[in-house]
Chain A
Amino acid sequence: MTATEQVTAADQVTTVKPRPIVLSVVFALAAVAIAVVSLSIGTTKLPVADVVDVLLGGGRSGTRLIVLELRLPRVATGLLVGIAFAVSGALLQTLSRNPLASPDIVGVNSGAAAAAVAVIVLAGTGGGNISGFAAKVGIPTAAVVGGLLATLVVGLLSIQRGVVDAGRVVLIGVGVAAAANSLVAWLLVIGDVTDAGRAAAWLAGSLNARTWSDAVPVGLAVLVLLPVALMFNRSLEALVLGDDVASSLGVRVSRVRIVLLVIATVLAAMATAGAGPIAFVALVAPQIAQRLAKSDRPPLMTTAMLGALFVTAADLVARNGLELLQVGPYELPVGIVTAACGAPYLLHLIGRQQKGR
């Protein structure tokens, strides 16, 4: 069966729903608006009009430097990381039919965390700068390698007689994640307290001091993999109905699953390298998007745009929240805000859904 036939067959189970599309557009516009506001706020406050001017190619060189070189990398990393985490979560949740399945708990993030924390703790010099061999690897590189390695182990262990059962992938992922998390806890204990603090900050997920070298890898991953994931949209739609139904509709279940698992993994690993394991985005963005879109699975594009909006907004709060509350000039890691804001909203949505039942 060719790819075209496959799509046509799966096509029969879908009807065009306007709601997810409208939501995607709204979320995307809101994300861009918040990004622009974010670019205008900082030690030097810039008028929004100037920021827009710079983004459209104009503006004075001083303003251009502040916006394009100092602030845009951070904001862009936030947008891209949000998309990557959210899409990764949506794919994993759909594939495994488990709303708890997200890169947070299936090995990617934990593997990345173990590698990154190892660099921070083992190469750390008690609060000084990172040095030695491990420093040359760099935290983002270590995170990507650790994340992919953990997932490779999960993948190889999950294949049984050539078949990949998604539930088994998730469970084995949890096992590998547990091992990696133990390693993290142990590294935190044997390390110096200052290094442990730095590790804890990285583990919370942060967009502080990002440069283009953080944003570009995630950007490439999103640019290449998001369209590929969208091409499988109809196969996903069929997979929700169960493996048997899906294969009777012409979906090559095992192959689709492996491709999408790889996409989910790479997206999560790149995002973690870019900003640390930002809590909860991958879990909550698909769930919220699914509920708002009144869909039976997380709609990919809506989830992606919601992820971008979520992280960008959370970073704005993380940068300025404590100052507005007059608590002090501290910046919170963005991961704390995503958890603190996303969790109550998810709870609200679950409650409303149960009332409506």
Chain B
Amino acid sequence: MRIRGFRAGALAALVLVVVLAFAASLALGSRWLGIGAVLHALADPNGSDADVIVRSLRLPRTVVAVLIGACLGVAGALMQGHTRNALAEPGIFGVSAGAALAVVLGLQLGIADSVGSTVWCALIGALVATFGVQRLASRGSGATPVGLALTGAAVAALLGALTTSIVLFDANTLDGYRFWAVGSVAGRGLDVAAQVLPFALIGLLLAAINARDLDLLALGDDVAAGLGLSIRRARLVGLLAIGLLTAAGVAACGPIGFLGLLAGHVARRIFGARNSWLIPAAGLTGAAALILADLVGRLVGGAGEVQAGVVLGLVGAPLFVLVVRRRAVAL
């Protein structure tokens, strides 16, 4: 009972962090606005400078950051659970690599000429890659955690090689690709959020369904099967969720590496291994982390801002090291 109370309290605290980060993201930037000005812009806009800044610049990217941060955080936690590998995250699982290849092909063919069309390329690439990994990993007697992890890594390497060989021979494509590949929420409007929202919502729903099954899978495949779980179906649902969530994330913001890993481990540190707590917590952690990374990038950059993906690596990595430093790792 006490543990449960602690977890509920911690989850509430995480929600509070996300809300505060959201507010800070609306108020702070190259021009600092007071709470009054932000509320004014949200509730009763009259076209003042502050209103325009909040409504058309800061609100969209913050909304995108919440949504995508949550998606990538949940995807990371799911992935770590399904592969029983502490290193699993979208970046080394083929999903981001699939999206990247599709974006590069899109740039090459001239299809990916706007944020909106790039989203579709990335989405298709990520979904195809997930499906491919799932099919390849479940040959024979079904997907084992090690098989899944290695298959993801192999597919990622293969797709990455194709991507590199295209950008090496075409400077124009490289030029477009490098700005996408750094990972950022800047310039992502509400239309981008709306485009990926259905995928994100279905992914989150599937993740919620999958959480309890994942607790059973953690006991080992044989025990889980003995308790009446269909392992095949549980893995399929999990992978589908991972694919949809990562696809939505990568499509909207580029391959923001490391967020899934960070959120999964932070949440595991606070909430332990129970997936019904761990997975929502990872989502909230991811959302807070991405908002804050974007905010920091805006604040330190001056005129040219530092992309959220870069900030996450440079600031998030030391934080991550603090989290994992104190314990031996076991999943």
Contact = CB atoms under 8 A, between A and B. Distances in A.
Interface stretch (B42-50, B85-93, B116-124): B85-93
B144 interface: yes
B168 A200 contact: yes
B258 A178 contact: yes
A49 B162 CA distance: 37
B86 A171 contact: yes
A98 interface: yes
Contacts of B181: 185, 188
A344 B329 contact: no
Interface in B281-331: 306-307, 309-314, 316-318, 320-321, 324-330
Contact of B257 (A168, A178, A283): A178
Given A174-B87, A178-B258, A186-B310, A165 B161 contact: no
B328 A168 contact: yes
A252 B36 CA distance: 64
B225 interface: no
A182 B309 contact: yes
Interface string A144-186: 0000000000000110100001011011101110111111011
A205 B15 CA distance: 44
Interface stretch (B56-64, B69-77, B134-142): B134-142
B106 interface: no
A165 B329 CA distance: 8
Contacts of A287: 150
B150 A346 contact: yes
Interface stretch (B25-33, B171-179, B204-212): B171-179
Contacts of A346: 150, 154
A343 B139 contact: no
B141 A355 contact: yes
5 contacts: A100-B153, A160-B326, A178-B316, A185-B310, A203-B164
Query: What interface size band does chain A fall in?
Result: 35 or more
B164 A178 contact: no
Given A283-B157, A284-B154, A189 B165 contact: no
Contact of B140 (A165, A203, A355): A355
A330 B166 CA distance: 12
B141 A354 contact: yes
A178 B147 contact: no
A156 B153 CA distance: 28
Q: Which 5 pairs of residues, A with B, have the shortest CB-CB distance?
A: A182-B313, A355-B140, A354-B140, A339-B161, A167-B329
Given A168-B324, A168-B325, A340-B162, A330 B178 contact: no
A175 B137 CA distance: 27
Which DSSP category, helix, strand, loop or mixed, fits chain A's interface?
Answer: helix
Interface residues of B, number: 62
Interface in B223-260: 257-258
A283 B178 contact: no
Contacts of A316: none
Interface in A184-215: 185-186, 188-189, 193-194, 196-197, 200-201, 203-204
B261 interface: yes
B10 interface: no
A168 B269 CA distance: 14
A279 B161 contact: yes
Contact of B87 (A171, A179, A200, A201): A171
Nearest to A167: B329
A353 B143 CA distance: 11
Given A172-B321, A189-B178, A351 B136 contact: yes
A172 B313 contact: no
B103 to A, nearest CB: 14
A168 B321 CA distance: 9
Contacts of B321: 157, 172, 175-176
B81 interface: no
B101 interface: no
A204 B175 CA distance: 17
A168 B329 contact: yes
A167 B330 contact: yes
A283 B314 contact: no
A200 B161 CA distance: 11
B174 A332 contact: no
A172 B165 CA distance: 31
B116 to A, nearest CB: 21
Contact of A355 (B139, B169, B171): B139
A17 interface: no
A357 interface: yes
Contacts of B275: none
A146 B88 CA distance: 25
A335 B168 CA distance: 12
Nearest to A190: B304
Contact of A98 (B85, B165, B258, B318): B85
Contacts of B261: 174, 178
Interface string A100-115: 1100010000000000
A188 B182 contact: yes
A350 B142 CA distance: 11
Given A178-B320, A330-B169, A332-B165, A283 B153 contact: yes
A355 B140 CA distance: 4
A339 B160 contact: yes
B149 interface: yes
Contacts of A167: 86, 328-330
Contacts of B196: none
B257 A181 contact: yes
Given A337-B161, A347-B136, A350-B151, 18 more contacts: A98-B86, A99-B150, A157-B321, A170-B87, A176-B321, A179-B314, A181-B258, A186-B310, A197-B171, A204-B168, A284-B157, A339-B161, A340-B158, A342-B154, A343-B161, A346-B154, A350-B137, A350-B150
A152 to B, nearest CB: 14
A343 B158 contact: yes
